[in-house]
Amino acid sequence: MSFAIAIMAAGKGTRLKSKRPKVLHEIGGKPLLLHVVSAALKVVPASDIYVIIGHQAEQVRAVVAPTGVRLVEQVEQRGTGHAIQAAAAAVAAYDNLLVLSGDVPLLRTETILRVRDFHLAEQAAMTVLTATPADPTGYGRVARVIAGGDVPAQLETSAVARIIEQKALSGTEQQLREINTGIYAFRTAPLLAHLGELETNNAHGELYLTDMAALLVKAKERVVALRAEDTAELSGATEVLGANTIAEMMLLDRALRHAMCARLMAQGVTIFQPETVVIDPGVRVGPDTVLEPFTQLLGSTVMGERCRVRSYSVLENTTVGDGVTVRQGCIVEDSEIGSDVILGPYAHLRPGSRIGQGAHIGNFVELKNVQFGVGSKAGHLAYLGDAVIGSGVNIGAGTILCNYDGVQKHQTTIGDEVFIGSDSVLVAPVSIGKGAYVAAASCVTQSVPEDALAVGRARQVNKEGWAAKRRAMSARKKN
Ligand code: UD1
Ligand code: CA
């Protein structure tokens, strides 16, 4: 039984009041549509996924194309039924079609698989994933042939009579609480046989995919519903929520963050005030690591065990070893931090910083593209860019590596056990040999041999009595 997945992502997103395409708005650190594509990619290969694009198609194409999925253009956007009509030819050769919405981003792979398996087991022509949220306002409602709620549970049937959009609900239908999530499975043959029968006689004058339920029932085909299930981290009703407004997106973002924290805590990570902590879905953290309030772990960050990330630190696409302390207010991007390192407070590690085991990068130290050796220290107020720094090195307060001459970047090399005195300026390209000393406040423009002392500053002159004479002169002028 072959399956294709179609993801509807062509709509205008009128309710959003944004110039950006709806499906490119971000939650959990990535566009809505990429959440849906990621879940779909765990069900079928990219070559069996068809993303339907239309409104601002080029922007959407640019974001989704790198995943390798296929793209189908719905040139005019005349409703969800019309979107599937646009994809009909592309998916005709598959036995079955799973339909997902680009604006239902928390949908889990497990749920897609449940829909698929239920659809096959029920031998249905159409399977609708449903939920029963506290407030069903705005969603289409599912009328089962015999619904639960008012009847004993054992009488409830999976068979669906039709789906009714919010605006079309009649008096008694207002009571229906089971919503259409916009996620479906179809047997392709009956879908395509009846897809042309959709009509525009509704509030928006669009072709509604939801009308396929009644059309298929009329054609004596089997249409069934399956409810989304709760998990420990996420309720079924939250998982299938749509994102039509910014406020709805932020609710989903929060649900996603909350689920992420819950998962990590279940794996032995301590998270204080998790409602303030922002963790992207791809992040991994080892047990006994502690995250303080208002920390962010973003992108593909991976942290080891027994670390502590103190408040207001943000780590992005960074690999962190075990036993690392990230003190308050650090920003770390695209870097690698060895075990037992101490960062901050207020350290800024820009892309390409590789910090050796046990090193210390302290207050207001900025690094960019620096290999920083085992046990080396830069405690205070330094800029280190484009450098290879050995082990056991001490970088004094206020050290600056001048890596840029206004046109090109140049490299600095500092050997093992070097001591750079405070307030030194090293003008790259330059190299400091193993075990050498640079005197405080030096301006180093030539390489320093191993074990040498470089003094690059004017010799101090003391003028005896100068200050006293000056004060006496000033006093005379005043009188
Ligand atoms: C739809 C369902 C509704 C369901 C809800 C669940 C219909 C008519 N209604 O309503 O029953 O409760 O989803 O979230 O289907 N799209 C296209 N081309 C179009 C129009 C829409 O690709 O011409 C895409 C949109 O980009 C979006 C998805 O289809 O990703 C759903 O469209 P949207 O307008 O958001 O439908 P809802 O009003 O939410
Ligand atoms: Ca929607």
Per-residue pLDDT of the chain (479 residues; tens, 9 = 90+): 999 999 999 998 888 889 999 999 999 999 999 999 999 999 999 999 999 999 999 999 999 999 999 999 999 999 999 999 999 999 999 999 999 999 999 999 999 999 999 999 999 999 999 999 999 999 999 999 876 666 666 666 899 999 999 999 998 999 999 999 999 999 999 999 999 999 999 999 999 999 999 999 999 999 999 999 999 889 999 999 999 999 999 999 999 999 999 999 999 999 999 999 999 999 999 999 999 999 999 999 999 999 999 999 999 999 999 999 999 999 999 999 999 999 999 999 999 999 999 999 999 999 999 999 999 999 999 999 999 999 999 999 999 999 999 999 999 999 999 999 999 999 999 999 999 999 999 999 999 999 999 999 999 999 999 999 999 999 999 88
pLDDT of 151:
61
Ligand 1 atom 31, closest CA: 101
pLDDT of 153:
63
55 is known as an active-site residue: no
Question: What is d(CA 35, CA 31) in angstroms, rounded to the nearest whole number?
Answer: 7
pLDDT of 308:
98
Atom number in ligand 1 closest to CA 11? 26
Contacts 24+ apart (CB under 8 A), 214-217: 214/161, 214/162, 214/163, 216/125, 216/126, 216/190, 216/191, 217/160, 217/161, 217/162
For residue 444, list its beta bridge partners. Answer: 426
Q: Encode burial over 333-350: b for 16+ CB neighbours within 10 A, e otherwise.
A: bbbbbbbbbbbbbbbbbb
Active-site hit among 55, 258, 348, 380: 380
Listed in sequence order, the residues at least 6 apart from 233 whose beta carbon sits closer than 8 Å to its beta carbon are 258, 259, 262, 263
Radius of gyration, alpha carbons of the chain: 31
Ligand 1 atom 1, closest CA: 182
Query: Which of 8, 80, 141, 162, when mutated, tests ligand 1's pocket best, judged by the most ligand atoms within 8 Å of its CB?
Result: 80
Using a 6 Å cutoff on CB, does residue 78 contact ligand 1? Answer: yes
Instruction: Indicate the pTM of the whole model.
Output: 0.90
Q: How far does the centroid of ligand 2 lie from the alpha carbon of residue 316, in Å? A: 31
Helix (H) or strand (E) holding 1: none
Using a 6 Å cutoff on CB, does residue 80 contact ligand 1? Answer: yes
Query: Which of 101, 200, 208, when mutated, tests ligand 1's pocket best, judged by the most ligand atoms within 8 Å of its CB?
Result: 101
Ligand 1 atom 33, closest CA: 11
Atom number in ligand 1 closest to CA 77? 23
Instruction: Give the count of alpha carbons within 13 A of 296, CB side only.
Output: 15
pLDDT of 184:
98
How crowded is residue 201: how many other Cβ atoms within 10 Å of its Cβ?
Answer: 9
pLDDT of 146:
79
